Amino acid sequence: MLSRLAFRNVRRSLGDYAVYLITITLAFSLVFSFGLIASSQAVIDLSSGMNLFRTLLDFVNAVIILVICFLVNYTTKFMFTKRSREFGMYLLLGIRRNQIVRMFLLEILLLGLIALALSIPLGFIVSQFLSMLIVNIFGVAELILITFQAEALEQLFVYFSILYLLVFLNMLRRMGKMNIRRFLDTERENEKKMLRSSGQRNLLFFLSLLLGVGAFALWNSQFDLTAISTGETLTWLMVAVTLFIISIYGISVTGSDMLLTFVLKRKKVKYTGDHLFLARTFSSKVRSMSITAGTLSVLVTLTLLALNFSYLSQGVYEYTLESEAPYDVSVHDNREVLDDYIDIIEEDYTIQDIVKYDIYKEPKMVLNPIVALPGSNEDFDSVISLGSYNALLELRGMEPVTLKDDEYMIVCNPQYLELFENTDSIKSLTLADGNILNLAQITDRGYWLYMSGIANYAAVFPDQYTKGLETAESNLVVDTIEETSADLEKKIEDEMSWHLVYTDEDGDTVHEFYRFNVRGLVIEETNSMTAMISSLCLYIAFIFLSTVGTILAVQSLSDASKYRYRYTVLNRLGVEAGSLFRTILRQLLILFGLPVIYPVIIVFLCMTSINRVYSLALYDPYIYLLYFLAGLGIFLLVYGIYFAAAFVGFKRNIQVQ
């Protein structure tokens, strides 16, 4: 009978907790589909980086399971509170407590199993879409069909078991402590109010705000080019994150309450429109769900950060590719062997363009000391002729530059831009032969990592000034019609090994494979890195966001049925359905809006800090603003779906004429 009762209760719950059921189904299906992808041999074979993906995924899954656990636990607690009076009735009818506990846990498990069962086919379908995405990223010609992997299914079952075990243990602890009186009264209890006096509340609010400012100052101080590489950076960042979390909880516990007091103390605000009703409806909720609100805000913060990082990694992708391999093949080696490279490339590819250029030595050496790494033994400035530089630019579809006869320019790694700009002594450069060149501009446009094998910069001289200079190294850039693949790297390594591999005087084997660079390999490596970070960030963002959305939607829908009479009374007092719905809309906007405000501010500030370092790797230093807005847009879109579901459900539940 009890199991029949449990089945019927689950059927009844399906309507009330549809949003919750959909969310955990989607969450389980994502866990499953990522598991399928990670265990698919075809995907692993795509890139060596995919092994790292599995390790990262395990870590991410652990965090995600904890968050799903929070959601299931919260909803279970919520269902329990709502039905505790019913359980009290069971006790009165003579049903033993352990029978009631068993029935309730069976109901929770049944809901979970429904989600699990639905998530398996759904996850399988999602994995095919993910595979299409991966195929697209890696530019694989054939579609990879993800096969059904028992390993992924086992993993899902393990996660499911751990999750429900934790939830059950918590529920057993909670129900074990209750007597019949508590069962009958729990429905009417709120979470305990944390702060007794408004003085304590104000103090906590300002302390939390101060903590937030302190956390930001600490965070910001770490994103400085001089500080970022020191060993303590990570420790300080962790401290800042902890402070942020405490601050978010503090603000969540106190902020809404302060706002309410503000509204209720000002008659003009209080008696305008539906403010009084909204404030009073909200006050009991806000004052009693403070800790939950804090957790929701932390999850919103992490969601927004994950979305921003997803975009950032995509933005850096282009930069990485352009800074590491803008040309299909680039080589720096002796001039005599350059043609050998060309021959090897020509065997498999159609060559569209070739640029051979030299890097010269300017013996006066004014620029080198500014940026030279400790231990560097180059005793000259690296120089490229204007003609060669323009040829390289044109090959990338960039506008050539012009220099007057007495001018020179510097092209360098973005990291050194500031160093050169701050050195006045290079504004006018006296060369070894006595000629004087004036600095026309310093740029990082057109520079790439393999422009020169010996320096992170090159001085661009008008052609006539390079004529008498000694050649430091010869370079080759090859543009092919077809996109190169990672195989070309291997082929060059093999076929040029007679030249690139030798034994030095100490008897050690030296590999000089750094002398060439193939775009195909860089694309593959960068692709897998970007795909990994980007997809894991989106995965985290979706789970966290849907957890927040579900908790708020379930709360709203439950409120709607619990406090239906409030709206009926308003309706009978003459408030029309239209304006009542507007009030509900505002009420939900506040409920959904408040946990988002502080996180948006924090994430914006944090991303601005991070951008101080990342802007070096992005084409536009302000593109992070676009990423921020795009991330916020996606967040609001998904959040909006939960909001809309809550609003529609609320309207239906109160059934006002």
Partner 1 sequence: MVEPILRLEQVKKYYGRNANITKAINGISISVKKGEFTAVMGSSGSGKTTLLNCIATIDNVTAGHIYIRGMDITELRESRLADFRRKNLGFIFQDFNLLDTLTVGENIALSQIIGRADPEAIDSRVQNIAEKLGIKDILDKFPYEISGGQKQRCACARALINEPALILADEPTGALDSRASRMLLEAMSAVNRKMNATILMVTHDPFCASFCGRILFLKDGRIFSEISRGDKSRKELFTEILDTLNLLGGDLENA
39 binds partner 1 (CB under 8 A): no
Do the beta carbons of residue 80 and residue 174 sit within 8 Å?
yes
97 binds partner 1 (CB under 8 A): yes
Q: Which stretch binds partner 1 (CB under 8 A): 95-103, 129-137, 429-437, 554-562?
A: 95-103
Q: How far is the CB of 614 from partner 1 (least distance, A)?
A: 56
641 binds partner 1 (CB under 8 A): no
Q: Which is nearer to partner 1, 2 or 18 (CB)?
A: 2
Do the beta carbons of residue 325 and residue 450 sit within 8 Å?
yes
Q: Which stretch binds partner 1 (CB under 8 A): 18-26, 90-98, 147-155, 611-619?
A: 90-98
Report angle CA 32, 38, 44 to the nearest 5 degrees: 155
Q: Which stretch binds partner 1 (CB under 8 A): 96-104, 145-153, 212-220, 422-430?
A: 96-104
Q: In the stretch 46-85, what mask flags binding to partner 1 with x, by CB under 8 A?
A: ---------------------------------------x
Collect all residues with Cβ–Cβ distance below 8 Å to 33 and sequence separation of at least 6.
123, 124, 126, 127, 130
Helices 519-562 and 50-92, packing angle to 10 deg: 10
Contacting residue, 1, 141, 150, 373, with partner 1 by CB under 8 A: 1
Contacting residue, 2, 109, 246, 260, with partner 1 by CB under 8 A: 2
What 3-state class would DSSP assign to 410? strand
Contacting residue, 62, 96, 117, 343, with partner 1 by CB under 8 A: 96
Contacting residue, 3, 8, 398, 640, with partner 1 by CB under 8 A: 8
Do the beta carbons of residue 316 and residue 532 sit within 8 Å?
no
Q: Which stretch binds partner 1 (CB under 8 A): 87-95, 240-248, 331-339, 585-593?
A: 87-95
Decide: residue 539, CB within 10 A, 0-12 exposed, 13-18 middle, 19+ buried: buried
Q: How far apart are CA 524 and CA 534, in angstroms?
A: 15
Q: How far is the CB of 288 from partner 1 (least distance, A)?
A: 23
Contacting residue, 41, 93, 173, 467, with partner 1 by CB under 8 A: 93
Contacting residue, 52, 62, 66, 92, with partner 1 by CB under 8 A: 92
Q: Which is nearer to partner 1, 1 or 373 (CB)?
A: 1
Q: How far is the CB of 6 from partner 1 (least distance, A)?
A: 10
Q: How far is the CB of 170 from partner 1 (least distance, A)?
A: 21
Q: Which residue has the tokens 């593959």?
A: 524
Q: Which ranges constitute the DSSP H helices of 39-179?
A: 41-44, 50-92, 97-138, 150-176
Do the beta carbons of residue 653 and residue 564 sit within 8 Å?
yes
Contacting residue, 22, 42, 56, 89, with partner 1 by CB under 8 A: 89
Q: Which is nearer to partner 1, 86 or 479 (CB)?
A: 86
Q: Which is nearer to partner 1, 103 or 570 (CB)?
A: 103
114 binds partner 1 (CB under 8 A): no
Q: How far is the CB of 207 from partner 1 (least distance, A)?
A: 33
Q: Which is nearer to partner 1, 182 or 445 (CB)?
A: 182
Contacting residue, 3, 12, 490, 502, with partner 1 by CB under 8 A: 12
Q: Which is nearer to partner 1, 95 or 617 (CB)?
A: 95
Q: How far apart are CA 243 and CA 609, in angstroms?
A: 16
259 binds partner 1 (CB under 8 A): no
Token pair of 239 as six digits: 């401290």
Could you tell me whether strands 457-461 and 381-385 are parallel, antiparallel, or unpaired per DSSP bridges?
A: parallel
Q: How far is the CB of 110 from partner 1 (least distance, A)?
A: 14
Q: In the stretch 170-209, what mask flags binding to partner 1 with x, by CB under 8 A?
A: ---------xxx--x-------------------------
Fill in the amino acid letter for 533.
Answer: I
Q: Which stretch binds partner 1 (CB under 8 A): 93-101, 293-301, 337-345, 580-588?
A: 93-101
Q: How far is the CB of 20 from partner 1 (least distance, A)?
A: 19
Q: How far apart are CA 196 and CA 182, in angstroms?
A: 24
Radius of gyration of the chain (CA): 32
DSSP state letters, 168-223:
HHHHHHHHHT--HHHHHHGGG--PPP--SSHHHHHHHHHHHHHHHHHHHHHHHHHS
What 3-state class would DSSP assign to 307? helix
CA distances in angstroms from 314 to 309, 318, 526, listed in the order given: 8, 7, 10
| Three-state SS annotation for 524-565 | HHHHHHHHHHHHHHHHHHHHHHHHHHHHHHHHHHHHHHHCHH
Contacting residue, 18, 22, 44, 91, with partner 1 by CB under 8 A: 91
99 binds partner 1 (CB under 8 A): yes
Contacting residue, 22, 56, 95, 486, with partner 1 by CB under 8 A: 95
Q: Which residue has the tokens 């579901």?
A: 645
Q: Which is nearer to partner 1, 107 or 257 (CB)?
A: 107
Do the beta carbons of residue 432 and residue 364 sit within 8 Å?
yes
Can you say how many angstroms the Cα of residue 319 is from the centroid of all Cα atoms in its chain? Answer: 18
5 binds partner 1 (CB under 8 A): yes
Q: Could you tell me how many residues of this chain bind partner 1 (CB under 8 A)?
A: 22
Q: How far is the CB of 177 from partner 1 (least distance, A)?
A: 11
Q: How far is the CB of 86 from partner 1 (least distance, A)?
A: 7
CA distances in angstroms from 638 to 27, 50, 540, 542, 545, listed in the order given: 14, 29, 14, 8, 8
Collect all residues with Cβ–Cβ distance below 8 Å to 585 and sequence separation of at least 6.
647
Q: What residues between 569 and 628 interact with partner 1 by CB under 8 A? A: none
Q: Which is nearer to partner 1, 187 or 378 (CB)?
A: 187
For binding to partner 1 (CB under 8 A), which residues are involved?
1-2, 5, 8-9, 11-12, 85-86, 89, 91-97, 99, 179-181, 184
